Amino acid sequence: MCNPKELLNKLSNVYSIDPKDFVAYYVCKNTSDVFKTFVATILSQNSTDKATYVAYNNLENKIGVTVDKILSISEDELKEVIKIVGLSNSKARYIKNIALFFKRNKIDELTRLPCDKLRELFLTVDGIGEKTADVVLVNCFKCKFFPVDTHIKRVMSRLGILGSKPQYKEIADFFISSLNEDELLELHQLLILHGRKTCTAKKPLCDKCVINYCCEYFSRMGKH
Ligand code: SF4
């Protein structure tokens, strides 16, 4: 069984992280703006990076990604501007809800809260789920959380370290208990890259995989 440090070491030798491959990371790094990062994260759900950047830039150029600008337009207008990302009905509603949250809760006060409290508060907003909250908390607040997306779930299920169907919290706790904040963010990104490039949903490239020696799926295939 591979431990978190081992996964980090092995995967960091294979993939290099380009900030542009991670929309929330990129937006937070370049703007240091929590609201903009939430908007980018919502837009990216079930969408390609390319479509996400187009929608985000459309929104920035035509309306402006600020709390007041988003609250000043109708949900239908918002839907129209972001439609390229798909699921624009729900995404427009979520972005409006998040804008309202930041209108009522000032960012200066929020940043003084401990990470757990902040997470709890974010999760009260319709549209902010665990993954979205954790993505923003890890990228913008340097909190010690671990966002789990579909790629990470698939890789972890196949590795079998936590059984065949590990839940979000089990996966997050497994990594949080062994890694620091920077390592958590790095491994989060590396596992996503691994899921996109090697441990793909269909036909994973197991023979080329640097962690195949500790993978149950690979073992079941009779490869080792
Ligand atoms: S050996 Fe195959 S299934 Fe296992 S982690 Fe690597 S690519 Fe994924």
DSSP assignment string, 151-198:
HHHHHHHHH-BTBSS--HHHHHHHHHTT--HHHHHHHHHHHHHHHHHT
CA of 11 to the centre of ligand 1 (A): 12
Complex confidence, ipTM: 0.99
CA of 81 to the centre of ligand 1 (A): 39
152, 192 Cβ separation under 8 angstroms: yes
For residues 99 and 156, state if they share a domain. Answer: no
Q: Closest Cα to atom 4, ligand 1: which residue? A: 215
pLDDT tens sequence for the chain (224 residues): 899 999 999 999 999 999 889 999 999 999 999 999 999 999 999 998 899 999 999 999 999 999 999 999 999 999 999 999 999 999 999 999 999 999 999 999 999 999 999 999 999 999 999 999 999 999 999 999 999 999 999 999 999 999 989 999 999 999 999 999 999 999 999 999 999 999 999 999 999 999 999 999 999 987 65
For residues 119 and 50, state if they share a domain. Answer: yes
For residues 100 and 73, state if they share a domain. Answer: yes
Pocket test of ligand 1: the residue of 11, 14, 158, 193 to mutate, having most ligand atoms within 8 Å of its CB, is 158
**Whole-angstrom Cα Rg for the chain:** 18
Q: Is 27 contained in some domain?
A: no
| 206 touches ligand 1 (CB under 6 Å) | yes
- Give the residue from 112, 140, 168 where a domain finishes: 140
- Give the residue from 111, 140, 169 where a domain finishes: 140
Ligand 1: nearest atom to the Cα of 154: 8
For residues 134 and 173, state if they share a domain. Answer: no
For residues 54 and 83, state if they share a domain. Answer: yes
| CA 148/CA 173 separation, integer angstroms | 11
For residues 136 and 152, state if they share a domain. Answer: no
